[in-house]
Structure 1
Amino acid sequence: MKTLLPTSTAGSLPKPSWLAEPEKLWSLWKLNGEELIQGKQDALRLSLHDQQHAGIDIVSDGEQTRQHFVTTFIEHLSGVDFEKRKTVKIRDRYEASVPVVVDAVSRQKPVFVKDAKYLRSQTKQPIKWALPGPMTMVDTLYDDHYQSREKLAWEFAKILNQEAKELAAAGVDIIQFDEPAFNVFFDEVNDWGIAALEKAIEGVSCETAVHICYGYGIKANTDWKKTLGSEWRQYEEIFPKLQQSNIDLISLECHNSRVPIDLIELIRGKKVMVGAIDVATDKIETPEEVADTLRKALQFVDADKLYPCTNCGMAPLPSRVAKAKLNALSAGAELVRREL
């Protein structure tokens, strides 16, 4: 029996304080070697338990095994020099010191497959695993080798495709590609970004999702949001082409954002992960507030294709806040399920 309105998170959950400094995005590991491997597994089980306790239907590792949603994947590839760093503007918003692409990029061995197998061994529920999307990877580096964002994205797409196929074989039910860059570089998204994403999912045997948000609740993002005016119509630029793509699910930000909800109509036919939890505030949503966002979305997406979700990852939030928000997401979805 398939669950109606299956809930999930867009990605990260807070890390326990013994593993990494909490409420920080680029938090360093507090453990090393074998202890770190064991610590990540313990944190994964804890994160899984929190999701299950809250009644989340499609569970993940809460990104406990990753320091950062993009960089950790890139660290495992050859051709990128992490010692040599340059400052770039990420997403046209904030400056960051990033690694440099010095040679052809390639994947010598699986990156997250072992972790995904471990998650699979811990639960019978459907599991979702997140990978960075090709364009967002390109946007998080300084390219000294290809000298072309598009060429580098195609190389990353091939690498992601190898990883995604192995993750699917390891029992992952949904592979999600995080593409916050899709909300910024519209011409590139339509010229080659969606095509690169299609390359990444080619021949992958499980369902695939793309997560496009307005970012974590960090200052650079919240400041940027203040400049976007009373209506955020970024999705309008990219949804028509995504609707034509082979991607199965589209994850977007709805709650407390200024995204006109009727833009979901542009991806009619796709499964939609509707962000009904605001990750940029410590304020806990009520189940009724979550339900209200879902009801609005139901005008533009069929009930059997609506997947209640969070707007983005919750790594920067206090643990108790994230847990309460998971509970609210579950309870709000349950209210709407009963009405249906």
Structure 2
Amino acid sequence: MNNLLPTTTAGSLPKPSWLAQPEKLWSPWKLSGDELTEGTHDALRLSLDDQRQAGIDIVSDGEQTRQHFVTTFIEHLSGVDFEKRETVRIRDRYDASVPTVVGAVSREKPVFVDDARFLRGQTDQPIKWALPGPMTMVDTLYDAHYKSREKLAWEFATILNQEARELQAAGVDIIQFDEPAFNVFFDEVNDWGVAVLEKAIEGLTCETAVHVCYGYGIKANTDWKETLGAEWREYEGIFPKLQASDIDIVSLECHNSHVPIDLIELLRGKKVMVGAIDVATATIETPEEVARTLQRALEFVDADKLYPSTNCGMAPLPRSVARAKLAALGAGAGLLRGELSS
């Protein structure tokens, strides 16, 4: 692994067409039972190989074993009824039909631990595993039981902590919590969101990360971005609290976004996963473009704390595009590494 500017991805990679319909979020599985287990593990191996070939240093499962970054985890919990659905506003951006919390939530058994163990057996490289963050989980449900976003978030944090401890024991090096909701509910983030996140990482000795982005390249997100103006300053409202938190790494969106790069200064001292690949377009970045984005970030984060990454997950993109973007990320980080070492 490259010790300087180690590359990684924010999350999902596209699934093969024999496993699920390509270029679609929430795409249903084309296999079932034992065939599905075997198929997702085959897809995980392919995803891992794509990352290796692109020169990605810290690898992941590409989220091949889950349909969705939030709901697949929730499906394994008790207290949530997936038949009983309500329409709620997700991230204050779009309406969606979501499951209902009908009773006390709990985790009867591990959710991703077997998959993580399988990934660990496939590679000697450091591995990163993504879990949904507590606030984003709350924002993806209708709560008919706790009647309090904060109370439900604390319950989820306890459950996530159980899962995270077992993922660590299975050999995961970095556990990442996906919190797109942090980019929307700033008062809640500062009032209780970061505290709840710290509950989720309690007692962990592996590294921890939080991923806060502007979302997949889907219409609801791109429409929302159009309303944000020439400068996207959302991070300004949450970075000071994250900088003071126990989280080791903050993952953010930079390339092709209107995020002022100097906001990274607010995280000084933290490791930063700098998103240098735009997931909302099929245009392939050049290695030089990637290197430029990373170079600009270096004014505000020390080189030994910069992790080149993607802006967000790439599940909705064609596989050939995602592979080319991964290669650009690996090559771009290599260019800058060469400059820094010379």
Gaps of 5+ in 1: none
Secondary structure of 1:83's counterpart equals: strand
Say whether 1:71 aligns with 2:71: yes
Cα deviation, 1:262-294, whole Å, max 9, x if unaligned, reads 000000000000000000000000000000000
Say whether 1:90 aligns with 2:123: no
CA distance in 2, matches of 1:223, 1:155: 33
1:38: how far off?
0.3
Match of 2:106 in 1: 106
CA distance in 1, matches of 2:95, 2:253: 24
Match of 1:121 in 2: 121
Contact 2:255–2:275 (CA under 8 A) maintained in structure 1? yes
CA distance in 1, matches of 2:135, 2:186: 11
Identity across matched positions, percent: 82
Give structure 1 regions of 4+ aligned residues with deviation exceeding 3 angstroms: none
1:2: how far off?
5.6
Match of 1:259 in 2: 259
Match of 1:60 in 2: 60
- 1:1-340, aligned counterparts within 5 Å? 3-340=3-340
Secondary structure of 2:102's counterpart equals: strand
CA distance in 1, matches of 2:2, 2:54: 19
Cα deviation, 1:156-185, whole Å, max 9, x if unaligned, reads 000000000000010000000000000000
The size of the alignment, in residue pairs, is: 340
CA distance in 1, matches of 2:93, 2:49: 36
Secondary structure of 2:175's counterpart equals: strand
What amino acid sits opposite 2:79 in the alignment?
Answer: G
CA distance in 2, matches of 1:301, 1:204: 25
CA distance in 1, matches of 2:47, 2:338: 28
Return the TM-score normalized by structure 1.
Answer: 1.00
1:204: how far off?
1.1
1:58: how far off?
0.3
What amino acid sits opposite 1:316 in the alignment?
Answer: P
CA distance in 1, matches of 2:215, 2:320: 21
CA distance in 2, matches of 1:216, 1:131: 16
Secondary structure of 1:177's counterpart equals: strand
Secondary structure of 2:210's counterpart equals: strand
CA distance in 2, matches of 1:205, 1:246: 11
Secondary structure of 1:136's counterpart equals: helix
Secondary structure of 2:155's counterpart equals: helix
Cα deviation, 1:126-178, whole Å, max 9, x if unaligned, reads 00000000000000000000000000000000000000000001000000000
Contact 2:2–2:57 (CA under 8 A) maintained in structure 1? no
What amino acid sits opposite 1:14 in the alignment?
Answer: P
Secondary structure of 1:197's counterpart equals: helix
Aligned-residue CA RMSD (Å): 0.6
Contact 2:10–2:211 (CA under 8 A) maintained in structure 1? yes
Gaps of 5+ in 2: none
CA distance in 2, matches of 1:55, 1:231: 32
